Structure 1
Amino acid sequence: MEKIHILGAGNMGSAILFGLRERYGSSHLRAIENNASQAAYLAACGFEVSERIENIDCADIVVLAVPPQRFKNAILDNQVLLSHVGPVISVMAGVTTKALCKTLGHAQFIRSIPNTASEVREGITIYYAQENAGSDLIAAAQIVFGAIGIYVQVDDEGLMDSATALAGGGPALVAYFANAIQQYAENEGFGSEVARQVCTQLLYGTSLLMRSTGKSSMQLCEEVQTAGGTTEQAIQVFERNDLNGTVALALSAAANRSVELGK
């Protein structure tokens, strides 16, 4: 199998590393990380870690996972990438194909947004490939994406900013809502561990129910509610406070920030 170099092994990069290891083992994985403490942690976890890419074969896969603000400096530190003709996968929020092409000097890349659930192979990756992307490039990208969860392709690059909000930031939004549920439970007198177990099972069980039955989210919502019942009272509070509008504002703010990073 080709080697996979993860350039930038912070939160997202390390999630991909651990997800890939579960499928393929670690012998084909290389973490490129300048942060000493993070590099030491990954080395202790059994990964091969270095500060830069010293050698690379033409078929090797490179995953660009550095913060978008550090992209150009990362390429300067790893100039071997400027002559690399193999697959490159960007997971950097806001960095457009135009910017990638200008900096890398070629178009052998995929723009994508995975998320941190990749660490447990339950991620969702949304990716965009240019019209002239070869089948080998897409196949290489899908090897990576398939090892860390499921993936979907979009034909309009303009959707990638919304994808960043949805897929990239989605776990944080769900976790924020989960924290509100857990805090309620603790405030009502449940122990913190019991509150956590209830909260995580609610998320897991509901997601599994939606996935296995194919029911829509609102169908499940309506099935739980009864007229004049307790759940209906809770949903009415959401509606009075325009929860849908608040979530839309939050996602739009994240998407707009992705656009700003691209500039």
Structure 2
Amino acid sequence: MKNIHVLGAGHMGGAILRALKKNQNSSANLRVIETDSQRARSWQKLGYKVAPKLDELSSEDCVVLAVPPQQFENALTLNPALTRHCGPVISVMAGITHASLVRFLGHDAIVRAIPNTPSEVSQGVTMYYAPQSSSSALLEEARQIFDAIGISLRVEEEWQIDTGTALAGGGPALVAYFAEALQDYGLRSGLDREQAALVALQLLSGTTALIRAQGKTVSQICQEVQTPGGTTEHAIGTLANAGFKGLIGSALDSAARRSMQLGQ
């Protein structure tokens, strides 16, 4: 049976392991490669097969690289089987380019991906890159993993991964930051902390559900909530006059540039 070896069982590696187990109703073909003894014991208690390093790999086995990028070269040293493996490899490490992975691993059956943190509850967005010459089997392997943790989008050019890092990767923090601003207003206006949090989070989830259910654009929903001369129109006008959309765009541009710098 084809196995999936997840090298690094932290936040993202853990999210992938849990989602795959849930989808398959089994962890029989899942392998956790983890050097942290406490974390390794936790995964063992959950019924996963755990080892401190990769054993010999079948050519069909898939390896998910989920260690922190600064630990990647050390992980290669500790796992010589990885440099002998020519089967599918999926990297969810930020900042390490496809070309670098090919150079380190000695083959190009590699997908480079950026999942985001909502993947931990199978509501993530994964943007991924693989060359046009990639096999259909490799792409299908990657999509099965990404679909377990949310939705996925393949980009045609690797530089678009920097866009993905800014928009999808950092997006949850921007959304949470906006939610915090809503909560702060609630607190200033007489709600207690629990009430303000409840309203802010319901606004996010409820609005998302409304947009999806009605199939309308976000712009349509925005217009429909506003009454000419009403309270919401004044609120949106204040944001527009402050250059709100431009500020968000500048923030994401800054994040994308930083992603590019880290990749270099």
TM-score by length of 2: 0.92
Structure 1 unaligned regions, length at least 5:
none
CA distance in 1, matches of 2:49, 2:176: 31
Quickly say closer, same or farther: Cα 1:140–1:253, change in 2 above 3 A: same
CA contact (8 A) 1:17 1:119 kept: no
**Number of matched residues?**
263
Distance 2:237 2:52 in 1: 54
**Cα offsets for 1:106-141 (capped at 9, x unmatched):** 101111111122222221111111122111111111
For the residue of structure 2 that corresponds to 1:157, the secondary structure is: coil
Q: What CA distance in whole angstroms lies between the structure 1 residues aligned with 2:50 and 2:92?
A: 19
- 3-state SS of 2:159 partner: helix
- Alignment correspondent of 1:154: 155
Pair 1:37–1:172, CA change in 2 (3 A): farther
Identity of aligned residues (%): 48
Structure 2, unmatched stretches of 5+, are: none
- What is the deviation of 1:183? 2.4
Could you say if the C-alpha distance between residues 190 and 40 of structure 1 is closer, same or farther in structure 2, counting changes exceeding 3 Å?
farther
Counterpart position of 1:140 = 141
- Map 1:40-59; keep pairs closer than 5 Å: 40-59=41-60
Q: Per the alignment, do residues 88 and 177 of structure 1 end up closer, same or farther by CA in structure 2, a change over 3 Å counting? A: same
- Residues 11 and 120 in structure 2, CA contact (< 8 A), matched pair in contact too: no
CA-to-aligned-CA distance 1:217-246 (integer Å, 9 cap, x gap): 121111111112111121122112212122
> Counterparts of 1:172 and 1:30 in 2: how far apart (Å)?
31
Tell me by how many angstroms 1:78 deviates.
1.3
**Deviation by residue 1:159-209 (Cα, 9 ceiling, x = unmatched):** 111111111111121112112212222332323232222222211111122
| Residues 1:135 and 1:45: Cα distance change in structure 2 (over 3 Å) | same
Q: Is the 8 A contact 2:122 2:150 kept in 1?
A: yes
Measure, in 2, the Cα distance between the counterparts of 1:180 and 1:70: 36
- Give matches, 1:57-96, under 5 Å: 57-96=58-97
Instruction: Identify which range, 120-129 or 30-39, moves more after superposition.
Output: 30-39
Higher RCO structure (Cα 8 Å, ≥6 apart): 1
TM-score, normalised on structure 1? 0.92
Report the CA distance shift for 1:37/1:194 in structure 2 as closer, same or farther (over 3 A).
farther
Q: Structure 1 9/206 Cα, relative in aligned 2: closer, same or farther at 3 Å? A: same
Partner of 2:212: 211
Contact in 1 for aligned 2:125/2:152 (Cα 8 Å): yes
1:245 is matched with 246
* Equivalent residue letter for 2:15: A
Answering whether residue 226 of structure 2 is matched by residue 225 of structure 1, we say: yes
**What root-mean-square deviation, in Å, do the aligned CA atoms of Structure 1 and Structure 2 show?**
1.8
